Amino acid sequence: MQKDSEKVTYMFSNLIGFLETIIIEGTASQEENTLYEDYKLFGTIDKQSYTYKNLVHKYLKSDY
């Protein structure tokens, strides 16, 4: 059984993969592109931002 911290890390890495996929497919919003660029530059994401919360919602509704 996974620990909670492992689950969060696993979901976060899948979320980044999902974000990369929608960017490559060209379906990402400008805000999602900016979120990814900030992640690449700073190595972190503001998990309180509307864009992040919206991305999590899209990820959970997707078949990714």
Residue ranges covered by each domain of the chain: 4-61
Does position 44 have pLDDT exceeding 80, yes or no?
A: yes
Band (62; pLDDT cuts 50, 70, 90): very high
What's the pLDDT tens digit per position in 8-43?
677 788 999 999 999 999 999 999 999 999 999 999
As a whole number of angstroms, the distance between CA 30 and CA 33 comes to 5
3-state secondary structure of 62: coil
Tell me 8's DSSP state. H
Does position 7 have pLDDT exceeding 80, yes or no?
A: no
- Following DSSP, what letter does each residue of 26-50 receive, concatenated? T---HHHHHHHHHHHHHS---TTSH
Task: Work out the number of other CB atoms within 10 angstroms of the CB of residue 35.
Answer: 21
**What's the whole-model pTM score?**
0.82
- Closest to 51 (Cα-Cα) out of 26, 34, 27: 34
